[in-house]
């Protein structure tokens, strides 16, 4: 069931999303080679709790605050003292905040130090995929229009588009209907309506689109071992426009 949000609910979701954007703006400059993924997780947890929020992923049993996925890890990477960020890594940070029962969801992939041109291009194209998906997220279109927009940008650049995982509704819970695939599918294809709040999240692989889950039961990796990139925003739909609630630059857009 798709929950169309009221203006009051969107206002509260927006607060959670703006707090998430503020968090990334403060913490991204502090992330560097040599940190463990556990240290990064602790940084984000301290920020969330000190600002009156709760780590949203703990609602679903995730053993951490941030899904920290490095290089060939697509999503759901587990924080650990043994996993150290290295120069040249692509590190995706997927975080949600539960603020008074309203949920944000966003992912940013960071390029650490001397990253190869190939990985830099992957990150740039994944961001372009996200922006294309957001542009298609308007009243009157269908969910498939978001999927096609993401897919076409990725395929034009020769990348694999993960099909086993996708975006989703968000705001009142971590995962809500509808699913928002990143490639054409034969699933449900509802029309986009005012009041929808969607997490649009391209997961783009440098190689094949196929993935598998590690023995830890969480971490999803590329089948061929090549690098993957993940970018995500929470987007609210209004009658004549949409709003990227998790935009890091939101203060300058008012």
Q: What percent of the chain has pLDDT over 70?
A: 100
76-133 pLDDT, tens digit each: 999 999 999 999 999 999 999 999 999 999 999 999 999 999 999 999 999 999 999 9
Question: What is the reported pLDDT for 254?
Answer: 64
173-197 pLDDT, tens digit each: 999 999 999 999 888 899 999 999 9
Question: What is the reported pLDDT for 187?
Answer: 81
Sheet with 176-180, side-by-side order of all strands = 176-180, 167-169, 197-200, 233-237, 242-244
Question: What's the farthest any 2 CA atoms get from each other in the chain?
Answer: 48
Which tokens hold the place of 131? 């922006």
Whole-angstrom distance, CA of residue 254 vs CA of residue 249: 10
Residue partners of 173: CB distance under 8 A and separation at least 6? 59, 103
Which tokens hold the place of 123? 């990150």
206-253 pLDDT, tens digit each: 999 999 999 999 999 999 999 999 999 999 999 999 999 999 999 988
């Amino acid at each position: 069931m798709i929950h169309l949000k009221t203006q009051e609910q969107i206002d509260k979701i927006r607060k959670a999303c703006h707090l998430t954007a503020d968090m990334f703006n403060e913490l991204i400059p502090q992330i560097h080679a040599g940190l463990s993924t556990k240290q990064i997780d602790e940084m984000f947890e301290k920020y969330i709790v000190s600002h009156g929020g709760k780590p949203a992923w703990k609602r679903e049993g995730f053993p951490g605050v941030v899904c920290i996925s490095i290089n060939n890890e697509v999503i759901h990477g587990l924080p650990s003292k043994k996993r150290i960020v290295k120069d040249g890594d692509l590190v995706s940070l997927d975080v949600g905040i539960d603020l008074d029962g309203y949920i944000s969801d966003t992912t940013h992939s960071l390029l650490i130090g001397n990253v190869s041109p190939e990985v830099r291009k992957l990150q740039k194209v994944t961001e372009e995929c996200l922006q294309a998906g957001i542009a298609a997220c308007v009243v009157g279109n269908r969910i498939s229009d978001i999927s096609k927009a993401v897919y076409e940008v990725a395929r034009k650049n020769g990348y694999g588009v993960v099909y086993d995982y996708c975006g989703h509704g968000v705001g009142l819970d971590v995962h809500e209907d509808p699913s928002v695939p990143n490639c054409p599918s034969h699933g449900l294809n509802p029309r986009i309506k005012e009041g929808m709040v969607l997490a649009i999240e391209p997961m783009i692989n440098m190689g094949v689109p196929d993935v598998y889950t590690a023995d830890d039961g969480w971490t999803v990796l590329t089948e061929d071992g090549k690098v993957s990139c993940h970018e995500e925003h929470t987007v609210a739909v209004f009658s004549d426009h949409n709003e990227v609630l998790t935009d890091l630059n939101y203060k300058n857009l008012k």
